[in-house]
Amino acid sequence: MTVIRTLIQRRPLLWFIVLTFVPAWTYELVCILLLRLPFLPWMFAAPFIGPAAAAFVVTAAVDGRRGVRDLLSKLTRWRVGAGWYLLVVLGSPALLMLCVLPVPGAVTAFRPSLAALPEYVLLYLVVLILGGPLGEEPGWRCFATPRLQQRFGPAGGTLILGLLWAAWHLPLSLIEGYNHAGADLRGILVPFLVFTGFVVAVSFPFTWIANRTQDSGPIAVLLHTSFNASLLPVLFPDVPDSLHYELIQVIALSLLATVTLACTRGRLGYDK
């Protein structure tokens, strides 16, 4: 154990990446390719055996109990301004809904359905608790973001994190229908490249919010959830969640990332 701890202490970021990818990818590929399990519920475990577990293992090896306490304090740092909660819970879905408007026929299809609202709230809670956000954010935002920024700068560190975050999802693209994935190589690669563009672009406002809220875990989890749980069935029930719609999101979020970088002079709220 001492040898392993020494190795992790020498290259904490490298070991975080290894422990994030290897267990989760192995688990996912076994479930997808060997066991051929249906989409749910097995995949709910992946974020917890990937980013979350890696964050705690590496933190324990490098900084001991004090480091684990600090990581836990970030995950429970809910005392931030109410405006941040409004931004992540309401602002993020509002931005995504604006991206629907360029979709052909979307304007006339705007038909809010209050009957679908309880289903959205339930979906939001399921995604938050069992889906990616609660399992991923301890790793991506609370552990990796501060360290990547310190080593590569806010913009460089965020770009690296965005690419890692997207790549971590790659095995799931082998599931036909996941993020519009098809059955052949082109059907897998094209949606994954669009997804990568989305994740890299959204990483920049994510980093800015993390820096401005002192790496608040609750804010990061809610922000992630707000991007995963779609309001389409509530506001645009006849508009499908298509690859075309996702391409529009990539363009809009890329513009947002550019504006965020310009307004913060590349610092993204990083003050160290």
Instruction: With a cut of 90, say whether residue 197 has pLDDT above it.
Output: yes
Residue 243 confidence (pLDDT):
93
Structural domain includes residue 232: yes
Judge whether 50 lies within some domain.
Answer: no
Q: Do the domain assignments include residue 47?
A: no
Q: Taking a C-beta distance cutoff of 8 angstroms, is the pair 55, 71 a contact?
A: yes
Domain extent at residue 232: 80-263
Average pLDDT, the chain: 94
What is the reported pLDDT for 1? 65
pLDDT at residue number 249 = 97
Banded model confidence at residue 140, pLDDT cuts 50, 70, 90: very high
Whole-number pLDDT of residue 189: 95
Structural domain includes residue 173 = yes
* 51 within a domain of the structure (yes/no): no
Residue 2 in this model has a pLDDT that exceeds 90: no
214, two tokens:
């002192």
CA dihedral angle for residue 64, residue 156, residue 226, residue 109, rounded to 10 degrees: -170
Per-residue pLDDT for 255 more than 90? Answer: yes
pTM for the model? 0.94
Within-domain flag for 118:
yes
252 lies in some domain: yes
pLDDT at 265 over 90: yes
- Is cis: bond before 41, omega within 30 of 0? yes
Interacting residues of 98 by C-beta distance below 8 A, sequence separation 6+: 252
Which pLDDT value is given to residue 211?
A: 97
Please state, as a whole number, how many other Cβ atoms lie within 10 Å of the Cβ of residue 117.
14
Q: Provide the number of structural domains found in the chain.
A: 1
Give which of 133, 85, 99 is closest to 235, Cα–Cα: 99
Residue at 137 is within a domain = yes
CA gap 129, 167 in Å, rounded: 22
